[in-house]
Amino acid sequence: MGQKRKIIMMLVALLGAVMLWLYVVTAVAPEAAKSVRNIPINIDGSAVLEQRDLIITDQDYSTLSVELNTSRVNLNKLNAESITVNADASRIKEPGVYALTCNVTFPDTVRASDVDLVRKSVDSVTVTVNRLIEKTVPVSLERIGAVQDGYLLEKAELNPDTITLRGPDFEVDRVVKAVVAFDVSDVQEIVETTLDVTFLDENNEAVEFSSEAVTVSATQIDMRLPVYRTKELTLAVNTVEGGGVKNENAEISIEPQTVLVKGDSEDIDQLDDVYVLDTLVLSTLDNENELTYTLSFPGSVSLINDESEAIVKVLLKGVTTDTINVTDIRLINQPAQYKSEAISKSAKVIIRGSTAEIREIKQSENNGIYIEVDMSDYTETGGYSISGKVINPNHPNVGVTESVEIIVVISAVEPEPTEGED
C-alpha cells in the first residue's frame, strides 16, 4: 500500500506542475514573438486599371515577411495563409512606376489590437504600369521546301485567318504578323491539319513575350491546303476533206496553242496530251474563218489561268469559190399518169475547187454539171418547189452546192381516145 500511495502522490505533483506551467504561459507571460515569411502581396484594382486601358507588367516584391508579438493563442492562428497583404493600385491613371503601400490584415479570429506588428520586410511594393492595347494581325502560311513537278498548291485556307493580341503596348506592338509553317515537299493530295502559330516582328524574327499578361485569341490554326495535279495540253482540231477542199488547202492556227490545267489525279490521267476542240468539215467553211470555242474539261479538270476561250483561224489557200448558171435540169421518176414540166429553166450553183479547175469549168460550154429532180413523191397536179440535187460527174475534186430549189408544174395526162370514138 505504501508504494501505491507514493505513485499517486507523484502523479498529482506532475499534474500540478503542468497546470502551473500553463498558468504562467497564458496569464503570467501571455505574449511571444513570431516571424511569418512569404506572405503573398495582392495588388488590388487590376480591374479598374484594365478599364483605363492600363496593366501592371512588373513589381519588385511578390511576398512580404512580418515579425509579430501577441499571445501564444493568437500566434497559432497567424501564418502565411491567414495573414493578407494588399496594395491598392486603383488610383493609378497613367502609365509609369508607382510605390504602393503594403497593408497587413489579420484573420477575423484575431483582433488587430491584440497583435503588435513589430516589423515588415518592406513597407511598399514598386509596380510598373504600361498601356494596355489590343491588336489584330493576319495569319499567313510559310511554305517549307519545293512543290513536286506536276503538282499545284493553291492558296491555303486558314481558320482563323487573323489573331487578336491583348497586352502591354511594349509587347504587343512588336508583333507584325503571325505565321504557320508547313513542309510541302512531299504533298500530293489535299492537306487538312492543325499548325502552331509563331508571331513575327518587322524583321521577321520570332517574338517571345516576356510578360504573362499577353493574351492571344488563338495559338493554333486549322489549315486546308488544296493540292492538284497539273498537265499541259496542246489544242487541236480535226478536219474532214470535201467540197473541193483538201487538208493541204487549209492553213489552221489556234490561240492559245497550249493550256495548263489542274484537277484530281484520276481525271488528269484520263486526258490525252492533245485536246481536240472540234471536227471541221472543210466544205462548209469560207475562205477566211475565225471560230471561237469555250474551253471546258471533264470531271474536276479546270484551267489554271484565266483564258477561258480558244480562237481557231482557218485560211483556205489555193481554193476558188464561184457561181455558175446550170441549165441542165432533169426530172426523174415521173408517174406515168402525170406530166411534169420544170418552170425553172436554170439555177445558180456555187462551185469550189482549185483555181485551175474552176477556170476550166467556167470556160467549158458543157461543164457536165446538171440538176436532178426526183418526182416519185409527187402524185397530184399543181405547182411545187422541189429540192433538186446538183450532180458533178466530171470534176470530182470540185465541190458544188448540194441542192437547189426548182419550180415544177404537174398536170394530168389526157387519155388517148379508144377505137370507135369520134
pLDDT of residue 138: 96
Alpha carbon 72 to its chain centroid, in Å, reads: 74
Determine if the pTM surpasses 0.75: no
Question: What pLDDT score does 18 carry?
Answer: 57
Sequence-separated (6 or more) residues with CB below 8 Å from residue 29: none
CB 85 within 8 A of CB 41: yes
Numbers of helices and strands, H then E, in the chain: 6, 31
* 311 and 241 inside one domain: yes
Q: What Rg, from alpha-carbon coordinates, does the chain have?
A: 54
- Residue 33 placed within a domain: yes
Cell numbers describing residue 185: 515537299
Question: Do 141 and 221 belong together in one domain?
Answer: yes
User: Can you give the CATH number for the domain in which 253 is found?
Assistant: 2.170.120.40
Asked if residues 137 and 162 have their Cβ atoms less than 8 Å apart, the reply is yes
Give the domain-ending residue among 91, 122, 153: 122
- Give the CA distances from residue 291 to residues 181, 280, 311, 312, in Å, rounded to whole numbers and listed in that order: 48, 10, 6, 5
> Are residue 142 and residue 58 in the same domain, yes or no?
no
Structural domain boundaries enclosing 270: 230-316
Asked whether residue 22 carries a pLDDT value surpassing 60, the answer given is: no
Per mean pLDDT, which of 3-17, 227-241, 359-373, 377-391 is the most reliable?
227-241
Confidence bin at 50 (pLDDT 50/70/90): very high
On whether residue 373 sits in a domain, the answer given is yes
Identify the pLDDT of residue 244: 79
Please state the rounded mean pLDDT for residues 147-172. Answer: 93
Average pLDDT over residues 227-241: 94
Instruction: For residues 337 and 310, state if they share a domain.
Output: no
Order of all β-strands in the sheet with 191-196: 157-159, 220-225, 191-196
pLDDT at residue 27 greater than cutoff 60: no
- Domain termination site, one of 225, 248, 280: 225
DSSP 3-state assignment of 4? helix
CA–CA distance, 204 with 214 (Å, rounded to integer): 20
* 182 and 240 belong to one structural domain: no
| Judgement on whether residues 106 and 67 belong to the same structural domain of the protein | yes
Has residue 3 been placed in a domain? Answer: no
Main-chain dihedrals φ then ψ at residue 251, nearest 5 degrees? -100, 115
How far the first Cα of the chain sits from its last, in Å, is 194
Residues 221 and 234 reside in one and the same domain: no
Spatial neighbors of 199 by CB under 8 A, at least 6 apart, are 137, 165, 175, 177, 178, 206, 207, 216
pLDDT at 143 over 70: yes
Residues in the chain: 422
Encoded amino acid at 293, one letter:
Y
According to the model, what pLDDT value does residue 399 have? 83
User: Could you tell me if 255 and 192 lie in one domain?
Assistant: no
Do the domain assignments include residue 7? no
- 284 falls within a domain: yes
- Residues 408, 395: one domain? yes
Q: How far is CA 386 from CA 331, 340, 376, 380, in A?
A: 11, 12, 11, 14
3-state secondary structure of 229: strand
Residue type, 93: K
Residue with grid cell 504562467, as numbered in its chain: 24
Whether residue 14 has pLDDT greater than 80: no
Residues of the chain with pLDDT > 90, as a percent, come to 61
pLDDT of residue 10: 66
Using 50, 70 and 90 to split pLDDT, how confident is the model at 207?
very high
Span 53-76, pLDDT tens digits:
999 999 999 999 999 999 999 999
- pLDDT the model gives residue 418: 60
Phi, psi of 78 (to 5 degrees): -110, 120
Domain count for the chain, please give it.
4
- For residue 11, the model assigns a pLDDT of 65
| One domain, residues 360 and 300 | no
Question: Does 63 map to a domain?
Answer: yes
Helices (H), 24-167: 46-51, 72-75
CATH no. for residue 32? Answer: 2.170.120
Question: Does 140 lie in the same domain as 80?
Answer: no
If we measure between CA atoms, which residue out of 236, 196, 226, 211 comes closest to residue 130? 211
Residue 28: pLDDT band (50, 70, 90) is: very low
Q: Which pairs with CB-CB distance under 8 Å and at least 24 residues apart come from 412-421?
A: 412/337, 412/338, 412/339, 412/381, 413/336, 413/337, 413/338, 413/339
All 3 cell numbers of residue 228?
Answer: 492538284
Provide the 3-class DSSP secondary structure of residue 392. coil
Please list the alpha-helical segments (H only) found in 195-303.
265-269
300, 316, 332: which is the final residue of a domain?
316
In this predicted structure, the answer to whether residue 350 has a pLDDT above a threshold of 50 is yes
**Cell, residue 13:** 505533483
Identify whether residues 87 and 112 lie together within a single domain: yes
**What are the backbone angles phi and psi of residue 300, rounded to the nearest 5°?**
-85, 0
Quote the CA–CA distance of 392 and 36 in Å, as a whole number.
124
Nearest to 89 by CA among 132, 53, 55: 55
| Grid coordinates given for 8 | 499517486
Would 4 be classed as within a structural domain? no
Average pLDDT, the chain: 88
Q: Alpha-carbon torsion 263, 264, 265, 269, what sign?
A: negative
